[in-house]
């Protein structure tokens, strides 16, 4: 099927809307670009991306935490505080609204900011964890926020679950496996959806990038939302070229009007 690139969110192709209207099951995979308009930097964009300024292996790997837990903790505290000061944007809210317009919408995200749930989406599959939670570095058990608060002078705080454990953010680091249950649920949703939407992701990180590919292979129609072109946009039936905080509300608004 040939690809259509759309640049004007005020002129959504009729065929795309028909396709979404007919779709019973929809799966969405989001990435850092969806939170860009909330003021959270993406990872891979030249100059502004987090990985343009910091070395991931020095900050987001088990080895880095082993070698210098204080630096890793401080860096995550900085990101946490930025996220805590920020809010979901119109794209997050539109996806939450979309859940009420289709039979089933599974939201799968690589983002750790928790903004989809904050905007009202339910059952969000957080592939890379959630930065606002802490777990024990030895046992993986969740640590109560009150414990962290009571030990915040220590960087990182100790773990209440293991004598040699430390608190660490509940995120997936480079070299670590994703939670198998979350990953299975994401691939299951991809395998049965009629439409898969990818939004704000470079598609550079596995296994997340394979989720829309699995949906395509199972016969889904793909819509990609991204100001830039990448491998995923080239696979999509429609590439909506522009920011997700513009395209998602435009799509959902139009769908809602047609339904109403």
Residues contributing to the site for ligand OAD (CB under 6 A): 31-33, 36-37, 42-45, 49, 60, 110, 128, 172, 200-202, 204-205, 225-228, 230, 243-244
Set 128, 151, 161, 162: catalytic member: 128
Supply the minimum distance, in Å, between the C-beta of residue 11 and ligand OAD: 19
Coil, helix or strand at residue 244? helix
Q: Are 150 and 110 in contact (CB under 8 A)?
A: no
Which CB atom, from 66 or from 231, has the smaller least distance to ligand OAD?
Answer: 231
Strand partners, 136: 167
Coil, helix or strand at residue 66? helix
Supply the minimum distance, in Å, between the C-beta of residue 144 and ligand OAD: 24
Supply the minimum distance, in Å, between the C-beta of residue 217 and ligand OAD: 20
Query: Measured in Å, how far apart are the chain's first and last C-alpha atoms?
Result: 30
**Helix then strand then coil, % of the chain, to nearest 5:** 40, 20, 40
User: Which DSSP state fits 259?
Assistant: H
User: What is the rounded distance in angstroms from the CA atom of residue 205 to the CA atom of residue 200?
Assistant: 13
Supply the minimum distance, in Å, between the C-beta of residue 223 and ligand OAD: 13
In degrees, to the nearest 5, what angle opens at C-alpha 32 toward C-alphas 44 and 245? Answer: 125
Which CB atom, from 101 or from 130, has the smaller least distance to ligand OAD?
Answer: 130
Q: Which residue is nearest to ligand OAD (CB)?
A: 33
Q: Which helix (H) or strand (E) holds 198?
A: strand 195-199
Which CB atom, from 9 or from 201, has the smaller least distance to ligand OAD?
Answer: 201
Supply the minimum distance, in Å, between the C-beta of residue 208 and ligand OAD: 6
Which CB atom, from 96 or from 172, has the smaller least distance to ligand OAD?
Answer: 172
User: What is the rounded distance in angstroms from the CA atom of residue 155 to the CA atom of residue 73?
Assistant: 6
Which CB atom, from 210 or from 230, has the smaller least distance to ligand OAD?
Answer: 230
Strand partners, 240: 6, 225
User: What is the rounded distance in angstroms from the CA atom of residue 18 to the CA atom of residue 158?
Assistant: 54
Any catalytic annotation for residue 92? Answer: no
User: What is the rounded distance in angstroms from the CA atom of residue 89 to the CA atom of residue 258?
Assistant: 23
Residues catalogued as catalytic: 128
């Amino acid at each position: 099927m040939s690809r259509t690139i759309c640049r004007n969110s005020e002129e959504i192709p009729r065929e795309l809307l028909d396709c979404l209207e007919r779709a019973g099951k929809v799966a969405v995979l989001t990435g850092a670009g969806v939170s860009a308009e909330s003021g959270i930097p993406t990872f891979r964009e030249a100059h502004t991306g987090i990985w343009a300024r910091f070395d991931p292996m020095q900050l987001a790997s088990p080895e880095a935490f082993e070698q210098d837990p204080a630096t890793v903790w401080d860096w995550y505290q900085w990101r946490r505080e930025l996220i805590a000061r920020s809010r979901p944007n119109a794209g997050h809210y539109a996806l939450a609204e979309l859940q009420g317009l289709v039979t089933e919408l599974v939201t799968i995200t690589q983002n750790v900011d928790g903004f989809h749930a904050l905007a009202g989406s339910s059952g969000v599959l957080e592939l890379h964890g959630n930065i606002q939670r802490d777990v024990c570095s030895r046992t993986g058990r969740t640590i109560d926020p009150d414990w962290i608060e009571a030990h915040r002078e220590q960087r990182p705080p100790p773990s209440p679950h293991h004598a040699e454990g430390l608190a660490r953010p509940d995120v997936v680091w480079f070299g670590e496996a994703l939670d198998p249950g979350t990953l299975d649920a994401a691939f299951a949703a991809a395998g049965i959806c009629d439409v898969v939407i990818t939004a704000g992701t470079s598609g550079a990180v596995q296994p997340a990038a394979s989720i829309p590919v699995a949906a395509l292979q199972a016969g889904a129609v793909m819509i990609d939302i991204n100001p830039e072109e990448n491998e995923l946009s080239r696979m999509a039936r429609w590439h909506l070229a522009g920011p997700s905080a513009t395209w998602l509300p435009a799509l959902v608004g139009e769908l809602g009007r047609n339904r109403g």
